[in-house]
Amino acid sequence: MWPLTQWTQVNGSVSCDDQATTRLAEGDPWAEGADLRTADTLLYDIVREGLIEKHPTTTNWEASKPRIAKGEIATMWLGSWAVIQMQGAAKQAGADPDDIGFMPFPAQKNGTFCAVAQPDYNQAVNIHSEHKEAARAWIDWFTDKSGYAADNLALSPLKDAPLPDVLKPYEEKRVKILDLDDSKGAQVKFIDNQSEVGIYQPDYRQDLVDLARGATKGSLDDFLNGLGEKWTETQKSLGS
């Protein structure tokens, strides 16, 4: 279920727009050419063409790792955090971990691929701590010297840090990495909850997969337009 929610993270990558979150708050995420419409159309086409697993309702996350390592699965839509797990599964399966790579979403804006950087957990010093200097020293060590980002193939918070090796092809192909303006993120989540669309939940994409594989009846356009109507009607009712 939860990997389907990852498809919402394409928002911003298709349009190469760091204001993509704001556009969710102010417009229709499934308008023609919008990022989520592009992503959901691709998901629909993948299922429709029979390019997914035969039984998507019984997918096993742990079992999928050695399958991609052995080439039985071609691609999985996940963050770079997953690469280290897939490479570990490759070793255990006797496959070459270097066969596991990372690619941007297959859409370009004016000839450029874009990828959105998603934050991991945040760290801070408690204002009430009696040991602020020690707490800050630990954060500085963790950030500057621990090697955590490199070990997990993640983007370092340090501005002058190099990209992890798995993202070196991004440099070679000049993939643009975006930080989204999330100032309206809370508003988006409120609209999402009130509309009951669930862009951060698996349900509507489970319905989309069922539609694409013929388990339910209907057209893709009607399905996506229906989501857009629920979203924009909620915006209007909330005065967004």
Task: Give 152's pLDDT tier (boundaries 50, 70, 90).
Answer: confident
Task: List the one residue out of 3, 169, 2 whose CA is nearest residue 76.
Answer: 3
* pLDDT > 90? residue 184: yes
Largest CA distance in the chain: 62
Helix (H, G, I), strand (E, B) or coil at 221: helix
> What's 26's domain CATH number?
3.40.190.10
Would you say residue 137 lies in a domain? Answer: no
Signed CA dihedral, 225, 231, 236, 237: sign only: positive
Would you say residue 155 lies in a domain? Answer: no
Instruction: Report the number of distinct structural domains present in the chain.
Output: 1
What token pair was written down for 112?
A: 């450029």
pTM, 2 dp: 0.86
Would you say residue 160 lies in a domain? Answer: no
Would you say residue 128 lies in a domain? Answer: no
Would you say residue 75 lies in a domain? Answer: yes
What token pair was written down for 176?
A: 């643009």
Report d(CA 197, CA 89) in Å as an integer: 35
Domain hosting 212: range is 2-122+165-238
Would you say residue 205 lies in a domain? Answer: yes
Each residue's pLDDT tens digit, 18-49: 999 999 999 999 999 999 999 999 999 999 99
The predicted structure's pLDDT at residue 68: 87
Report d(CA 62, CA 89) in Å as an integer: 9
